[in-house]
Chains A and B, each alone.
Chain A
Amino acid sequence: MKTIAVYSSKGGVGKTATAVNLSYAALEQNKRILLCDMDSQGAASYYYRIKPKKKFNRTKLLKGDFLQFIRETDYPGLDLLPAHFSFRNLDLALTSEIDQPDRTALRKLLYVLEDEYDYVFLDCPPNLTLLSENIIVAADCVVTPVVPTTLSVLALEQLLKLFRKVACDKKKLLAFFSMVEKRKSMHAGVMKKYLKYPIFLRQSVPFMADIEKMGLYRKPVAAGPTRSVAPQVYRALWQEIMERRLKG
């Protein structure tokens, strides 16, 4: 089992769109997939039309009693652990559990899934907290979308600092340009400047109407009603991530 966290401290950069479509691209290769919606907003759960069961909450999650709350999506082989409203202060809970910050709690929780799934994807909320540290420690690979603007690149530098703080191997961090609009000169400029760094994946995700419309159809783009190149883009992105970090 490999864990892939889709993470950024910035909001609205395409994390959820990425987690939803990458998990589907991985499913297309006949793997057993779990998508964990770590964001109390529940956007990923919404895209897959899944609501949490009534009895689910943060405490159960942290106790490791969450297998019974995993639900199958409409796509056999792809399961989802829905978000719950109580996830909004998961990070506080992580601290109070044992009175001092525990960075390995999430890693330990995910261990029970080892034989059940080939890939576990984490869709993360946009913040820089103890939960973020847990996510970085738990993941075999942290994928971070970067909108090609100067501010977003700053957020990436912040993230690298966080990696140093938790003493994690920087190699497991992979960035890609998200919501790219070729016509915007700033986008082109930033990409030209940064794409040469190995932290950036070759594959970027353009700004596409089909991705924007996902909220309407509530399906990953590859299962949606329109024929577009978006699924190809996510397949290629997934391929590159696997080659860079997950092979062997």
Chain B
Amino acid sequence: MSNFSLDEHNALSVLAVVAATCAALIVVGYLVKRPPLDAVTRRMLFVGLCVLPITAALSANVQGYKATQQRSFCASCHVMIPHARDAEDPNSKSLAAIHARNAYFGKDNCYACHADYGLFGTVVTKLGGMRHVWLYVTQYRKMPLAEAREKIHLVKPYPNENCMQCHTATAPRWLAIKDHTAAREDVLANRISCASSGCHGWAHPTTKGPVTAP
């Protein structure tokens, strides 16, 4: 609640809150006064129990859906704080941090790199997210960061396709780089990860190598 500010990005939140408040006023009014169910009451209740709640629900849903893609949402589970902190560090040179500085998808950068792309990608990603919530509640909620760092891994190796949603691997200046052309087959077949120490480095160097001070 502390970082809640009004702007065009949360117009939907405002709509949801206003609709819900008006609905609540009507409903509480009915509960308190208990007027006979005449045509006027019926209409008021139709607005208070149907029109406004549906408006509130739809806008809250869209807003909730958008919120789940933000880095702040990812970082609300403490085991993701090191990743997020590094991404927000203006001096960090990690891939995650470089991509967090982009105005277009910067605050959604975790999602931009970790979403499954393709048909049904969104659904698969959201289901995967549910799995993460479940694992967090059942296993990681109380885990110290030092232990989480050792235990948390991606379920499957990071697919280069995700990078290639934005970096096509066909641009002339990309192809002009000798390492790219030499490794292209292996990159396309996911035998070499773009984010590996021989190439562009880890996306999250904070969780790799020997433990360093935070």
Does A associate with B in a complex?
Answer: no
Binding site for B on A (CB under 8 A): none
Binding site for A on B (CB under 8 A): none
